[in-house]
Structure 1
Amino acid sequence: MRLIVCSNSAPRWQDGVGLLPRSPGGLVPLLATLLGEHGGDWVCTMPADGPPGPEPVEVARLPGDVTLHRLRLPPATVEQHYETIGVRLLLWLFHYLLDTARQPDGRLAEAWSAYEAVNRAYADRVAALLTGSAEEFVLVNDHHLFLVPEMLGRRAERRGRVAFFQGLPWCEPDYFGVLPAYIRDRVLTSLLCADVIGFHCTRWARAFLGCCARFLPGCAVDDDGATFDGHRTRVTVAPFPLDVAMVERLRDEPATADWRARLDRDAGGRRLIVRADRIDLWKNLPRGFAAYRSVLEREPGLARDWWFCAVATPPGRPTERTRDLQRECEGLVADLNERFGAPGRPAVSLVYPDLATTRNCVVAALSGADLTLVNPTFDGMNLVAKEALYLGERGRLLLSVNAGAYERLAEHVTPVHPFDVEATASALRDAMTRGTDPAGRAAARRLLRDQDATDWLKRMMGVER
């Protein structure tokens, strides 16, 4: 098998050598692992701060028979592709965050043309790499590249298989239908040019198939996939695995020990409630703080015994909405501390780790948690939930029923309904009075160890369900 992967994101690099992220999961680490095992080609977008050069494609040879192809695209095109379509339309759509009284508006045509141009550049590069072998496997990833399957499917030189993985949730047909028809139908028909489409959980897969049934006349949908225009597309559930080896390495690093000591000092002997999130709209931080406020309003004395530590990292591309969200969170934390904190002993802390040791801070916090709250409004999967189950020695995990990870982890977590602040408060208070189940935690760890990159790839190749 020859593996060719496409993703807007890619590892950082320096002097031609890839710098793989120190993360225990997610798209880029998973692709790096697979390419490290199989070799192949990785097509991605050159970041704005990438190395200068006149060539439209920067090619870097990496160890393990891996070639990185970085597409140099016009900055204005990249901006419209990523910001206007990728973030403000598709990212917000799939997380149910569009202001539907105003969005989508009538000014998408120019940005959609840029989106098409970027997808065409990817398809052209992949086509140049194809040899016509039936052993070639093209793996296209995420909403930035929805049109690549269609563009590849029309080329005679493609004999191998094409798979597409959607890392975000997929919204229900009524909400997906807010897209203009020329975007809505194009996305669906393109994806149905792929041989396999993968999602993090059954719920998102069924929502996608529901959209195909609703909006594509003549599309035949069943539990395993869809047939459209004479082509069969299999739909599979393939949640990203947790890289247990990376978790173990991070837990043993000196920087993690430093963070653990710092958090222990800040806790001052109190028990620890932890959350760890990017400051993204769907991570639902304000309702988490509001739920804890409700707990403390009923029992203010709990602030003497508990410390709520919220590890926060900035989004990759902040918008005015995420900046407002950060200010709102900081205001909520300040109010909680004014009402329930004491000098030198805040009731709640927003911890902003430095970039170099962010993962160490998260691992240290989750390792020491007596209780972890993961309450996104909607989330494709949510890696923190898996990290918390693996790392936590004594704490319970409260997990949103709208996180993709909930499907596989349900029997090991306490469910949270993320839009209901009072229900979340009740779940928090109940979990604060109960210990963990050692046998259940051991079973959760076994489940996480049993999932690896090879199994994920097999699912995406249609080898196993």
Structure 2
Amino acid sequence: MTSPTFDLVIAANRLPVDKEVAEDGSIEWHRSPGGLVTAMESVMRGREAAWIGWSGDAGDPPEPFEENGMYLVPIGLSEDEVTNYYEGYSNDTLWPLYHDVIVPATFRRRWRSSYERLNQRFADAVSEVAAPGATVWLHDYQLQRVPSLLRAIRPDLRIGWFNHIPFPPVEIFMQLPGRETLLEGLLGADFLGFQVRADAANFREACRRLLRAPVKGDVVTAPDGRRVRAAAVPISIDVEELRELATSPETLQRAKEIRAEMGDPEVLLLGVDRLDYTKGIRHRLKAYGELLADGRLDPRKTRLVQIATPSRERLQAYRVLRGQIEQAVGRINGDHADFGDTPVVYMRRSFPKEEMAAIYAAADVALVTPLRDGMNLVAKEFVTCARDDAALVLSEFAGAAGELKRAYLCNPHDVDRLKQTITAAIDAPADERRKRMRSMRRAVLANDVHHWAEAFLASLQAAPELPAEESAR
């Protein structure tokens, strides 16, 4: 049967839905949590578009299906491909390398071969559902070979790629075996989007030094003579929708209940992260534990709520991290808990967006302290949902720091300075916190998810030239 074709095709490692098997064996699909799905919903709303991605299970893929107005095309991964392409090359080679080698990257030739095969499978699937002259938007580090592989099949397509994670300095990137192949893969696109200017500059410098490709401004001349623009287009959130949810009477009431459930502390600190070594959770817990031990925070009057969403639990580095975090939480609570009071409330799970909005609204200070992060949408979500006098402690190494300049910025590697920043945010006068929060809200509102999507698509259609709104600046 001939597949329907679409003028807009999205391809990402995962589909925007998760499978749920009911007791009677029937299958239901539910919207996935996560920043990418939230961001892309606004792009696909009101459009006829296809989304290509893995369903999350090993084995033969389901047949294409429609869900919430989207045509979804599942990609199949065998058990070996889950191990080699996903857990291996994507998350044990590229992920640590692109995050400044916080943990050592592992290099395996069979992983790289599997990555190449899967990228070809994605390229073939996109080719089948893309209408003549269609716009294709590829996402993230798992699909860096797809642009050139797709262009070889369908040179008529307009191809864009967006990197949700950092792109490393060339001195780190050049450790990667087959590094030139990935760069050439990306140069198959018409436009390459990155979270911040430094990441785009890192990519262009890698092309210049490793491919000897001519670079002028934002534009790289590919080996085939095509001109490819690589520039920053920072991702964001649906501010209007989230703000409406956060200010609803139901959410505000739930926020009061959450504080009561925590024992009505004088200071409620909040961390919300995937359970990942890039997020700085161990450093954050160390700083908090020392503040309690130093007597600078009172364990009877302070709570830290740490939400850690499980992630990649089959990988050794993540299993080790989980044990380290649970030990740190146990140690802090063992040293400082009183009857009925636990200084750290640790939850290894995710919550629906309605509950998250209430948790954000309940908190006094959010601790967003990644060691390295492409953007970090939690920071923007907190600013959108928080009380006017709440405070954000934000790592300088999160992409969001470039926009949220009035946060209490910190170096999470420096635990002493991190402690000072946390206490500065807690002790700051309410008027100062309000001014900072107003400034950050304006920044988030000026670049919401709709603006991000429009800016990316405008840049893609105009590439390699600047889109009109940017060239006018």
* TM norm structure 2: 0.87
Report the residue type matching 1:279 in the other structure.
L
- For residues 293-331 of structure 1, the C-alpha deviation after alignment (integer angstroms, 9 at most, x for no partner) is 232233256223322221222115442222221221122
2:83 paired with 1:79 = yes
CA separation in 2, counterparts of 1:243 and 1:249?
A: 10
2:36 paired with 1:21 = no
Q: Helix, strand or coil for the counterpart of 2:46? A: helix
2:386 paired with 1:392 = yes
In the other structure, the counterpart of 2:374 is: 380
Q: CA deviation at 1:360?
A: 4.0
Equivalences for residues 364-375 of structure 1 within 5 A: 364-375=358-369
In the other structure, the counterpart of 2:464 is: none
Judge conservation of contact 1:311–1:362 (CA < 8 Å) in 2: no
Identical-pair percentage: 25
Judge conservation of contact 1:272–1:309 (CA < 8 Å) in 2: yes
Judge conservation of contact 1:132–1:158 (CA < 8 Å) in 2: no
Q: CA deviation at 1:457?
A: 2.6
Judge conservation of contact 1:260–1:365 (CA < 8 Å) in 2: no
Q: Helix, strand or coil for the counterpart of 1:8? A: strand
Q: Structure 1 residues 271, 113: closer, same or farther in 2, change over 3 A?
A: same
2:453 paired with 1:457 = yes
CA separation in 1, counterparts of 2:9 and 2:94?
A: 25
Q: CA deviation at 1:416?
A: 0.7
CA separation in 2, counterparts of 1:57 and 1:351?
A: 33
In the other structure, the counterpart of 1:3 is: 8
Report the residue type matching 2:222 in the other structure.
F
2:147 paired with 1:149 = yes
- For residues 366-402 of structure 1, the C-alpha deviation after alignment (integer angstroms, 9 at most, x for no partner) is 2122211111000011011101111221221111011
Q: CA deviation at 1:449?
A: 2.4
In the other structure, the counterpart of 1:350 is: 346
Q: Structure 1 residues 432, 309: closer, same or farther in 2, change over 3 A?
A: same
User: Which structure 1 segments of 5+ residues have no match?
Assistant: none
CA separation in 2, counterparts of 1:275 and 1:406?
A: 16
Q: CA deviation at 1:166?
A: 0.5
Q: Helix, strand or coil for the counterpart of 1:6? A: strand
Q: Helix, strand or coil for the counterpart of 1:170? A: coil
Judge conservation of contact 1:241–1:451 (CA < 8 Å) in 2: yes
Q: What do you get for the CA RMSD once the two structures are aligned? A: 2.5
Q: CA deviation at 1:206?
A: 1.5
In the other structure, the counterpart of 1:38 is: 47
In the other structure, the counterpart of 2:64 is: 59
Instruction: State which of 219, 222, 230 in structure 2 corresponds to 1:228.
Output: 222
Judge conservation of contact 1:16–1:61 (CA < 8 Å) in 2: no
In the other structure, the counterpart of 1:130 is: 130
In the other structure, the counterpart of 2:407 is: 413
Report the residue type matching 2:218 in the other structure.
D
CA separation in 2, counterparts of 1:22 and 1:174?
A: 34
Equivalences for residues 45-444 of structure 1 within 5 A: 45-48=54-57, 58-64=63-69, 66-97=70-101, 99-100=103-104, 103-105=105-107, 108-133=108-133, 136-155=134-153, 157-180=154-177, 182=178, 184-217=179-212, 219-229=213-223, 230-248=225-243, 250-251=245-246, 252=248, 258=254, 261-299=257-295, 302-353=298-349, 355=350, 357-393=351-387, 394-410=389-405, 412-434=406-428, 435=430, 436-444=432-440
- For residues 232-256 of structure 1, the C-alpha deviation after alignment (integer angstroms, 9 at most, x for no partner) is 1111211222112442465349688
CA separation in 2, counterparts of 1:209 and 1:176?
A: 12
Q: CA deviation at 1:161?
A: 1.2
Judge conservation of contact 1:163–1:196 (CA < 8 Å) in 2: yes
Q: Structure 1 residues 427, 118: closer, same or farther in 2, change over 3 A?
A: same
Report the residue type matching 1:382 in the other structure.
N
Judge conservation of contact 1:104–1:178 (CA < 8 Å) in 2: no
CA separation in 1, counterparts of 2:318 and 2:193?
A: 29
CA separation in 1, counterparts of 2:319 and 2:281?
A: 13
CA separation in 1, counterparts of 2:357 and 2:249?
A: 10
CA separation in 2, counterparts of 1:442 and 1:209?
A: 35
Q: Which moved more, 1:158-167 or 1:432-441?
A: 432-441
Report the residue type matching 2:161 in the other structure.
F
Q: Structure 1 residues 281, 98: closer, same or farther in 2, change over 3 A?
A: closer
- For residues 398-450 of structure 1, the C-alpha deviation after alignment (integer angstroms, 9 at most, x for no partner) is 1101101111111x201111211111011112222113432432332233223
CA separation in 1, counterparts of 2:450 and 2:356?
A: 26
Q: Helix, strand or coil for the counterpart of 1:379? A: coil
Judge conservation of contact 1:274–1:309 (CA < 8 Å) in 2: yes
Q: Helix, strand or coil for the counterpart of 1:239? A: coil
Q: CA deviation at 1:11?
A: 2.0
User: Which structure 2 segments of 5+ residues have no match?
Assistant: 1-5, 20-25, 460-466
